[in-house]
Each structure stands twice: as structure tokens, then as C-alpha cells.
A = this chain, B = another copy of it.
Amino acid sequence: MQLLDAGAADEWGATFTADGSFAVPTLPEPVHGRDNLVAMMRRTAAELAAAGDQRRHWHGMLDVRPQPDGTVLVRCYALVFSTLEGGEPRLHRTCVCTDVLVREDGELRVRSRSVTRDDLR
């Protein structure tokens, strides 16, 4: 999440598997593949930078469940804070994030991430 908020697209993309997917409520379809994820993130980071909007993503209250097939299922809460340059910090979103993690080269990577927003039900 620090990589995401810093606009470090490639490093953030490397936390997903090459075929990783990311589903968010504002997109009609999940985004598939690290290249597409990185491209999506670059666009978003450029828009936020142009708007002077510093986002901070917090994950917490992790429910971590190793699965028999070696993957790890994580369901956690997510908060997104937003601060415009010179402005007051603001709670932007509260979300739930469900990840399927796999081990690759000794690291846990995201094979699929699915986010729901509490304001969109």
C-alpha cells in the first residue's frame, strides 16, 4: 500500500503474480495481468498527482486463512484517506479487501484481489 500511495507502479505491480487480477466496484470487469495492473495504476497515480491528492491506504483487521492447496486467503478491512495540498485530511472510503495469496520465489504475492466499498452495496 505504501508503494501504491507513492505512485511506484512497477514495484506495486511486483506484489501481484504475473497473471494477478484486481476487481474493484468502479470497473465493470476485473483487471487481469501485471502489465494491465501497472498501466491502470500509472493512470490513477497521474490523476491523483494532477489533483494534488495524497491518498493513504490502510489495511487492518486481517483474517488470514492458509488453505490446503498452499494459497492463503486474507480478508481484511481497508481505509482510504485523502488529503488535498493545503487541505484537511479526509476519510475517503471504507472497504473490505479479499486476497488470494500464493508463494513465489519465497514471497507472498497477490493472485487475486477483490475490493468492495461500504458505500456501494
Contacts and interface: CB of A to CB of B under 8 A. Distances in A.
Nearest to A81: B94
Interface residues of A, number: 28
A-side binding surface: helix, strand, loop or mixed? strand
Central interface residue in A56, A88, A118, by most chain B CB within 10 Å: A118
Given A2-B61, A60-B58, A83 B89 contact: no
Contacts of A56: 77, 94, 118
Interface in A34-90: 54, 56-61, 63, 75, 77, 79, 81, 83, 85-90
A29 interface: no
Nearest to A62: B2
Nearest to A119: B83
B2 A87 contact: no
